[in-house]
A and B are shown apart, each in its own frame.
Chain A
Amino acid sequence: MAINFSLIIPEMLVAGLGLLVMIISLLVPKDQKKGLAYFTVFGLIGVLVVLYFMIDAQGTLFNGMYIVDPFGSFMKILIVLSSIMAIILGVEYVEKFITGFLGEFCFFVVFATLGMITLVSAGDFITLYVALELMTISFIILVGFGKNIFRASEAAIKYLLLSALSSGVLLYGLTLVYGAAKTTSINGVMEYIAQGETAPILVLGIIFLISGFGFKISAVPFHMWTPDVYEGAPTPVTALLSVASKGAAFGVLLRVFMHALPGNQELWMPIIVVLTVLTIVLGNFVAIPQKNIKRMLAFSGVAQAGYILLGLIAFSTVGVSAALFYAMIYVFCNMGAFGVIIAFSQAGGGDEVQDYNGLWKRSPFLAAVMLASLLSLAGIPPLAGFVGKFQLFRAIMEQGYVWLVFVALGMSMVSVYYYLLVAKAMYFKDPHEDSQIKVNLPIQITLLAITLITLFLGIYPTPLTNLATQVAKTFF
């Protein structure tokens, strides 16, 4: 059987890039690694271009262990895009706070990217597991890089132990499913499940699977690690973790469950609905009292994961398309917010919300980007987040979950409250110091682009909605 390697060009490119960067970083003097970072960025942009042209490609490789389809490509674009932004935003930060490790930062990001893009294309449990671990281990290392090394290593060990624990559970689930379905191919397993099979061993396996994926996308109650790790990790890593890793995990979750669910909706749907509601409610509630902005964003991220899950609940083209749209938008919003945090801490600012007092006067640009990003997260028009939420609500209401729309909307009002608390600090309070904040050009351009995209997609979302709809049809 001929293997069409052209389908995995992006993965190969990323892998090659990772290795190249690793080697070059050994050669380049410690203080000149900035160029390397931009080299990485350009490499990833190349990958992005390739992915963009490959979006319609479809096919399987290695006996079905690897699936290339529009859905996967969409998620890959999302992931690579986040990695690019994380590196651009992170260069200065890493140079300043984790001096000397820029090369490592770059290639671990690339490897994590590799893990993530493989994950969303996994066609087999083995691929899935390996990709997941590649991603996780790269992230663990990245998390451990932190500016405050002690907090960072605490975050890293927590992340490591908990994700190992959850991988253990996930794996155990996989084996049970394997035992029931007698295959590790995702399609095979799913077809088996879709027949309406409810063998206890299978159900148990799937529960374990849910908990494993739930851990990665930080759905309540599997989210416990999220705030601690987000808070302790270096901010660029937090940013990447919050969008890309969540996105990748969500991608695989969709891939696994989209086929499996129709058979046993009444069995699984209540669980997913409950998890979603818990995620949205708890995420938003607990975000309110947070004083640390990263931690607050961590909880908000938990809540956002809940919103993305709504797309799964809707279980329709519209739902998936909405979820994909939202996930993509979420990348921009979150990156925008974290970008501001990065730029701010580079200028010596702390991570507490009150440190942002009067940011408006010190840098109107950063304040505006932060505001736009947070409001987009809250789903306020004309920012893209609104369209995303609108689509999601529409999708679930179509399925008759009106009460769920009430909950979700209500909670998004709660989220407005704590996002506005940041706005309040930025705009209403007087700054502790008056110095203007200088933001370097790449970050400025990135943040500007992010904001403009958020705004543009909020006002004219058609290009992305069309794409997302087209992609979502993969499943139906």
Chain B
Amino acid sequence: MIESIGIKYIWLVPLAPLLAFILITFLFKRFQLLSALTAIFSMVVSFILTFDILRVILTGHEITMNTPVEIAVPWLNINGLYIEMGALIDPLTAGMLFVVTFISLLIMIYSVGYMHGDPGFSRFFSYLALFVFSMLGLVIANNYFQMFVFWELVGLSSYLLIGFYFYKDSAAQANKKAFITNRVADFGFMIGVIILFLYFGTFNFLELAEGISASTDLAFLTLAGILVFIGPIGKSGQFPLHVWLPDAMEGPTPVSALIHAATMVAAGVFLLARGFVLFASASATITFIAYLGGFTAFFAATIAITQRDFKRILAFSTLSQLGYMVMAIGLGSLTAGMFHLTTHAFFKALMFLCAGSVIHALHKQDIFEMGGVFKKMKITGTTMVIGGLAIAGIPPFAGFWSKDEILLVAKTNGFTFLYVLASITAFLTAFYMFRLIFLAFFGEKRSDYHAHESPLTMTIPLMILAVFSIFGGLIGAPFLEHGFAYYVYFGEPHHPHPDYLIMGSSTLIAAAGIFLAWLVYIKKAISAEKIANQFAPLYKFLYNKWYIDEIYQWFFNKVVLSISALLNWCDRNIVDGIAHGIAWLIRTTGAKGRYIHTGSLQTYGLVIFAAVVVIVLFLAGPVVGGVQ
């Protein structure tokens, strides 16, 4: 057994925030600062434990992807259903744990400043703690059931946090939308989990992995893989279930940073990595995953170009990046996907926090109403630019390394189409991201606002994240001996070799994107309006997000609600109508029957006598027959 406090007390990693949640909800609700401190403290505990686990893995080399440590307790053991709750510790888990605890900690600190003065301050921290609990439970899960449970619970936290400003109609709409969209996805996920269980008799990842490797039932594996993949489609906002994520920006910005950029939405990718053996077992599944990811990346990027809202642009960028990750896994490289997930977590959290900082200062979200913010908010501006460079993929920033790895995989595995698509997307990414930066931070002031730099609780996390966005990618740089790929992989570790052609071309593409943005928005050499007018239908199409929301809205309002109304009508009029009909029949029979009793005694006598006659006639046959 490996000596490690972190592994020994791993159950405390998720439970600490849960405890914080309970304490805040029931005891500390009135004491704002205490609530925040409790939450932060619980995060510190989790973070330290996580760090210890990470230390053991990085230094010990004993726990690898192929020799994980598993700890489990039975949770429910009845005939036909055995469920465990446990922890599966391997580098994948450890890395994800680190990302989650670290960013959560930073964001909680940030939130102390951001949420200052909000009446729901304590509530915010309790929800946040609940989220972290769920997320950590998900990450350490050693079986699909536990994964599903916490999968749903992160959905719940997300629901609560998106609807944090429940008095805003838009927020109330958005959280409902998020939950329902995820439910649709979980529907598939759940069926997938159930059929896996029925087929292999276990939920456990390791046991399943064995079973799947041994299985040759390709049709089943394909089906199960696709069904399970529906879960990530929802949670990680892949097309066509991405619609909830942009709306989820109705939540407070730290939430957007933590949940809807860095961690929860990446849970889908994490699941793909965790259950990689299942997806990889069927080529149809894995290819489907790759193309869907690639398409989502492109699709979201095209929309991001036209949006005006600071956070929405970031949201679409998140979608696009998630598409990248999913594509990476679909391309067969768990390493690349997880690597991008990690770097993305840093720079996207950073950008959202910057956005939060700006919004906190300006109380505006439309980038066309900003401009020149950089002058007022130096730290925020600088860190934002760092984030932009990171996402655009300019070396040596974090995004460069991970994106590069994905492109490399696409190319080496022979998915030329996806390679091209990903490159185009990279171009678009650089363009829209710097469009955002140029419009918001540079140029002249386009509306009245008062801006000032945010307090230290907010800027310190920004700076820390900025550092990670700059250097974070180096952990996976192909030059490193024991880099990211050494720890996180599927099957056998394989050391990436730098491909300078791809590196060069991708850098060029990114630079071209930035340059174009500069031309349009700083230099104004090209008029954006003109282009928009020239391609008006296309612009409108993109601006309206390919009309996906409208289609869903139409489907729900026209189809679902109509069916519902129709069934309601049937219930009231046909099903109930039959019952009423029977009752009516009985009542009417009674009401008519009473008129036999006319009150005339001779009628009565006649009836009696007639009855006698009828009986006589009835018996006449048998009797006479019997006598003869």
Contact = CB atoms under 8 A, between A and B. Distances in A.
Interface of A: 157-158, 161-162, 165-166, 169, 198-200, 203-204, 207-208, 210-211, 215, 221-222, 224-225, 227-228, 267, 270-271, 282, 284-290, 414, 417
Contact of A207 (B591, B599, B610, B615): B615
23 contacts: A158-B601, A162-B605, A162-B608, A198-B622, A198-B627, A199-B627, A200-B623, A200-B624, A200-B627, A207-B612, A207-B619, A208-B612, A211-B608, A224-B603, A224-B607, A227-B597, A228-B597, A267-B619, A270-B618, A282-B593, A286-B593, A288-B586, A289-B590
Given A207-B619, A267-B623, A271-B618, A286 B607 contact: no
B591 A289 contact: yes
B604 interface: yes
A180 B261 CA distance: 105
B605 A286 contact: no
B590 A286 contact: yes
B601 A285 contact: no
Contact of B591 (A211, A215, A224, A288): A288
**Chain A interface helix/strand/loop/mixed:** helix
Contacts of B609: 169
B594 A289 contact: yes
B338 to A, nearest CB: 67
Contacts of B77: none
B587 A288 contact: yes
A287 B589 CA distance: 11
B601 A162 contact: yes
Given A200-B627, A227-B597, A211 B586 contact: no
Ranked nearest first, the 10 interchain pairs of A and B with the lowest CB-CB distance are A224-B604, A288-B590, A285-B590, A221-B611, A289-B591, A286-B593, A158-B601, A198-B626, A286-B594, A203-B623
Contacts of A290: 594
A289 B627 contact: no
Nearest to B606: A224
B33 interface: no
A225 B594 contact: no
Nearest to A219: B611
Contacts of B591: 288-289
B626 to A, nearest CB: 5
A169 B608 CA distance: 10
Contacts of B593: 282, 285-286
Nearest to A160: B601
Given A221-B607, A224-B603, A285-B593, A414 B615 contact: no
Contacts of A162: 601, 604-605, 608
Contacts of B618: 270-271
Contacts of A285: 586, 589-590, 593
B218 interface: no
Nearest to A282: B593
Nearest to A225: B604
A215 B608 contact: yes
Contacts of A165: 605, 608
B579 to A, nearest CB: 13
Given A169-B609, A203-B619, 19 more contacts: A158-B604, A161-B601, A162-B601, A162-B605, A166-B608, A200-B624, A203-B623, A207-B615, A211-B612, A222-B608, A225-B604, A267-B619, A284-B590, A286-B590, A286-B597, A288-B587, A289-B590, A289-B594, A290-B594
Nearest to A173: B612
Nearest to A157: B601
B616 interface: yes
Contacts of B594: 286, 289-290
B584 to A, nearest CB: 11
A290 B601 CA distance: 19
Nearest to A210: B615
Given A215-B608, A285-B589, A286-B590, A224 B597 contact: yes
Interface in B547-602: 586-587, 589-591, 593-594, 596-597, 599, 601
Nearest to A284: B590
A207 B617 CA distance: 11
B586 A271 contact: no
B441 to A, nearest CB: 73
B586 A414 contact: yes
A158 B609 CA distance: 16
A225 B599 CA distance: 9
Nearest to A414: B586
A225 to B, nearest CB: 6
Contacts of B612: 169, 207-208, 211
Contacts of A161: 601, 605
B627 to A, nearest CB: 6
B585 to A, nearest CB: 10
B260 to A, nearest CB: 55
Q: Most chain-A Cβ atoms within 10 A of its Cβ — which of B589, B591, B604? A: B604
Contact of A228 (B599, B605, B615, B626): B599
A222 B626 CA distance: 28
Contacts of A198: 622-623, 626-627
A271 B590 contact: no
A193 B626 CA distance: 14
A286 B619 CA distance: 28
A158 B603 CA distance: 11
A284 B586 CA distance: 10
Contacts of B589: 285
Q: Most chain-A Cβ atoms within 10 A of its Cβ — which of B590, B624, B627? A: B590
Given A198-B623, A198-B627, A224-B597, A271 B604 contact: no
A290 B591 CA distance: 8
